Amino acid sequence: GAGVSQSPSNKVTEKGKDVELRCDPISGHTALYWYRQSLGQGLEFLIYFQGNSAPDKSGLPSDRFSAERTGGSVSTLTIQRTQQEDSAVYLCASSSTGQAPYGYTFGSGTRLTVV
Amino acid sequence: RKEVEQDPGPFNVPEGATVAFNCTYSNSASQSFFWYRQDCRKEPKLLMSVYSSGNEDGRFTAQLNRASQYISLLIRDSKLSDSATYLCVVIQTNGGSQGNLIFGKGTKLSVKP
């Protein structure tokens, strides 16, 4: 597709369950970011992938959070044993050069609600 | 001190007004600066870059003051469609890393008829 695709767009899960969020970047884009945005808050950096380099995981809030990027394309963000404070919109962005934010395009996000 | 700070607002202005937002950053080694716009329940979208010499795009003017470590966004002749949250973005690079986008929490603008 022409843009960054995220799925699901909405996810309601029970506390303690694991969830997987998916990001399909624009084809050929080498750089990919995950952010989360809680209600009324700014964007919180989670993790950054650039090509085949080791990802920058410095923003992951706990060891319940992990992310991978297979074949330099699709990325999945996994949250294990979800907690209510994990409720937020999870946004993915990709770029062709890593020279942010030129060419950085955000997906429309996954709204996660933990009940 | 937070890395990037913005007045959350809201700024409530009438149509046609001129409004300005500031954003301060704490890391003097910050490299690049941008303004993003985020509509309610939508993803952020790049509005404009901020260059040292200042730059203009139609009704929007962005400026950078490295000495005082702030950037500004000026909107002239406000339109109803300008109502949104404006996010200040700073890029910090660390050695060989491509760097992080550091987002401010945003300034909410509401333009009234």
Give the number of other CB atoms < 10 A from CB of residue A44: 16
Q: Look at the block and give the residue holding tokens 């955000």.
A: A106
What is the Cα–Cα distance from A85 to A62, expressed in whole angstroms? 12
| First CA to last CA distance, chain B | 37
Nearest residue, CB atoms, B106 vs list A42, A45, A109: A42
Interatomic CA distance for residues B105 and B35, integer angstroms: 12
Q: Copy the structure tokens of residue B71.
A: 């950037």
Chain A nearest CA to B25, separation (Å): 15
With contact defined as beta carbons under 8 Å apart, do B29 and B37 qualify?
no
Q: Is A86 helix (H, G, I), strand (E, B) or coil?
A: helix
Which positions in chain A touch B91 (Cβ < 8 Å)?
A: 100-101
Among A42, A56, A106, select the one facing B105 at the smallest CB separation: A42
Which residue, A65, A73, A99, A102, is CA-closest to A4? A73
Nearest CA in chain A to B39: A108
CA-CA distances (angstroms) from residue B108 to A90, A107, B55, B70?
21, 21, 22, 18
Give the pLDDT band (50/70/90) at residue A92.
very high
Sheet with strand B19-25: strands edge to edge: B4-6, B19-25, B70-75, B60-65, B55-57
Question: Going residue by residue through chain B (113 aa), what tens digit of pLDDT does each one get?
Answer: 568 999 999 999 999 999 999 999 998 877 789 999 999 989 999 899 898 888 999 999 999 999 999 999 999 999 999 999 999 988 876 544 445 678 899 999 999 99
Two tokens, residue A14:
């029970």
Close Cβ partners of B89 (under 8 Å, ≥ 6 residues apart): A101, B4, B33, B34, B35, B36, B101, B102, B103, B104
pLDDT digits (tens, 9 = 90+) for A39-87: 878 888 899 898 888 898 988 999 999 999 988 799 999 999 999 999 9
Amino acid in the structure at residue B72: S
* A101 has pLDDT over 60: no
The share of chain A scoring above pLDDT 90, in percent, equals: 62
Of the candidates B88, B25, B49, B93, the one whose C-alpha atom is nearest the C-alpha of residue A50 is: B93
